[in-house]
Structure 1
Amino acid sequence: MSGLHRFCMLAAVVAATWSPAHAQGFPGKPVRLVVPFPAGGSTDVVTRVVAKRLSEDWGQPVIVDNRAGAGGTIGVKEVLRAPADGHTLLFTPMGAVSIAPLLYKDVGYKASDLVPVAVLFRAPFFLMVPTTSTFKSAQALLSAGKSDRAPMYGSSGNGALSHVLGEALNQAAGTSFQHVPYKGGAPLLQSLTVDEAQWGLLQAADARNLVDAGKLKPLIALSARRAQPWPEAPTTEELGLKGLNLRMWNGVFAPPGTPADVVQQLNRKIVAILGEPGVKARLDAMAVDEKDADTSPEAFRQQIAQEVSAFTKVLSTTPIKVD
């Protein structure tokens, strides 16, 4: 057999086995899931549930890597620098993607740099007050916010999502609530239970135990519709507060340039895991919002573009400054 003949046979074998679909051999090595916040938060909890199931299905180690700091931007930039092969993914709440690039100077990225993969879950914010508060209704609190001695509200940090939304509420309601930043969600919760901060914005997963214990009370749902687990709380829509109906998400992203077929495979796998009875029960226990009918990466991308536009308008007229 001539050398040319052997070469042609080898080329034929390669052509028969090679496919431009990158996802065929994916994943080919351990997968790293970067969470840009400390362990223990709702995003971290769900990420670890999904990581376990991915590892079982893929037969590959799936490692959760908490890279906290600078409002989530450290972890985001870690993923942006990673190889675009789907083996490093970002699991994050919306603030690090849709808000941080609008707040921080020279952050080095914008939301559209990331490749949306899937929504993990949605969880609306609730305006919480201590049960000892003199404000027993949303209307009473909003009225006080228009007085010369407007109450103070707490956030989990300067420039945090709970701060941005607090100022968005001031804008929508014509109030002048004073902001007090705390160093994280736990100090904020503590301040609320002792009535130091007079209200704060929290997701159900973070506030549920304290509500059940009778220490916090939800007054408003930042949502277009009544939300679980406290459907008794009126919505911003009902109260006539416009621009506060953004549904807060936690999602999965890949580095720029990740092949579309890998993104689609990841999307199908993650969406399927989130729908499994055991995983769904964990999400239900966290009182997350219902899933969207369209779970595609493209639908997620379009939603992010819309909310970036909305947040840009809010931040252009609110007094939020971060270093």
Structure 2
Amino acid sequence: MTFTLLRKIVAIASLSMFSTLASAQNWPTKPVRIVLQFPPGGSTDVVARILAQSMTTALGQPVVVENKPGADGAIAAEYVMRSDPDGYTFFLASNTPMMQVPLLRKKPPYDPVKNFTPISMVGRYVYVLVANPNVPAKNAKELLEFASKNPGKLNYGSYSGVTQLMHTKLTKEAKIDTNLIPYKGEGPTINDMLGGHVQFTFATPTSTLSHISAEKLRAMAVLLPKRSALLPDVPTAAEAGIPTLEAGTWAALFGPANMPAELATKMSEAINAAMARPDVRDRIAKQGFDLGGSTPKELGSFVQDQLKAWAQAFADAGLKPE
């Protein structure tokens, strides 16, 4: 390699680095997109739009939400994965596309670690252990004791991978025998609980709060590290003495791979500042969603830990890649 060619290569590399740094320093200069795996109207969509509205004001550029549902979130994930890592396209993902898709497909379409840049945790979905009041149990301990003394008598409503995994974990660790009744959604599950066809399940506050207030359902525990502001009198799973699911349900923000660290940090700081606003927290709390941010580094470590936890949870449930 000649000295002249070497100088040209160094000059081009320096120019590219300077351009990247300048872009990061001036960011944002145009609208920022947050892509979702869910259709409009759901709790995640509402959370994203509340945060986007706050970030728009703070950043001085529109932060818009784009819905790209389908394929367990893989459509949205692949769209963001193929986008330029310039700080203008992000993926607000749940654990489904970032855990289930990579772990339960023989040929995963992406790697959640290699193909994305971690930005920030956004929070956790709240799940509540609820039971029909006709079950002679006032709390989780009494529910498990009743199930132990009456094998096969209680029906458990399951409508998602998480509720299925929780049933497997609960029956295994508590050594109880209950019937798992599959449903296509949370709504039908709750309707059958109210009708007495199933006796207990894990559900979100969105579908259960009004029934809990009317004493048509009994709340026994929340699957959170701390108590939910929506149900302050309901103990956590740890406080209630029941098995919990380390592979919990969460949402986090990711960018495409190879995003400059300065851009990732700026976006992380922007969304964490939005989550810290009291008005934002109050509005989102009503969606049954527990806000909680992080640094990019913390999210990266969290994803690594969650991959191990979900892999173990799937193995315990007998679920294998297809």
Shift of 1:242: 4.7
Match for residue 151 of structure 1? 154
Q: TM-score, normalised by structure 1?
A: 0.81
Question: Over aligned residue pairs, what C-alpha RMSD do you find?
Answer: 3.0
Shift of 1:268: 0.6
Q: Answer yes or no: is the 8 Å Cα contact 2:119–2:253 preserved in 1.
A: yes
Mapping of 1:284-295 within 5 angstroms?
284-286=285-287, 288-289=289-290, 291=292, 295=294
Shift of 1:88: 1.7
Please tell me whether residue 69 in structure 1 is matched to residue 70 in structure 2. Answer: yes
Q: TM-score, normalised by structure 2?
A: 0.81
Q: Answer yes or no: is the 8 Å Cα contact 1:92–1:250 preserved in 2.
A: yes
Distance 1:191 1:116, change over 3 A: farther
Q: Answer yes or no: is the 8 Å Cα contact 2:162–2:249 preserved in 1.
A: no
Distance 1:247 1:316, change over 3 A: closer
Q: Answer yes or no: is the 8 Å Cα contact 2:129–2:222 preserved in 1.
A: yes
- 2:229 counterpart SS class: coil
**Match for 2:306: what amino acid?**
E
Question: Share of identical aligned residues, percent?
Answer: 28
Gaps of 5+ in 2: 1-10
Q: Answer yes or no: is the 8 Å Cα contact 1:228–1:287 preserved in 2.
A: no
Distance 1:226 1:56, change over 3 A: closer
Q: Answer yes or no: is the 8 Å Cα contact 2:140–2:241 preserved in 1.
A: no
Match for residue 47 of structure 1? 48
- 1:280 counterpart SS class: helix
Match for residue 3 of structure 1? none
CA displacement, residues 115-165 of structure 1 (integer Å, 9 cap, x when unaligned)? 2211222344211123444443312332344454152222333xx323223
- 2:30 counterpart SS class: coil
Match for residue 4 of structure 2? none
CA distance in structure 2 between the aligned counterparts of 1:253 and 1:53, rounded to whole angstroms: 19
Q: Which residue of the other structure, out of 116, 119, 126, is the alignment partner of 1:117?
A: 119
Number of aligned pairs?
A: 306
CA distance in structure 2 between the aligned counterparts of 1:80 and 1:177, rounded to whole angstroms: 42
CA distance in structure 1 between the aligned counterparts of 2:164 and 2:241, rounded to whole angstroms: 21
Shift of 1:19: 4.8
Distance 1:105 1:269, change over 3 A: same
Q: Answer yes or no: is the 8 Å Cα contact 1:223–1:245 preserved in 2.
A: no
Gaps of 5+ in 1: 1-10
CA distance in structure 1 between the aligned counterparts of 2:85 and 2:106, rounded to whole angstroms: 26
Please tell me whether residue 300 in structure 1 is matched to residue 302 in structure 2. Answer: no
Match for residue 127 of structure 1? 129
Q: Answer yes or no: is the 8 Å Cα contact 2:247–2:310 preserved in 1.
A: no
- 1:85 counterpart SS class: coil
Distance 1:115 1:154, change over 3 A: farther
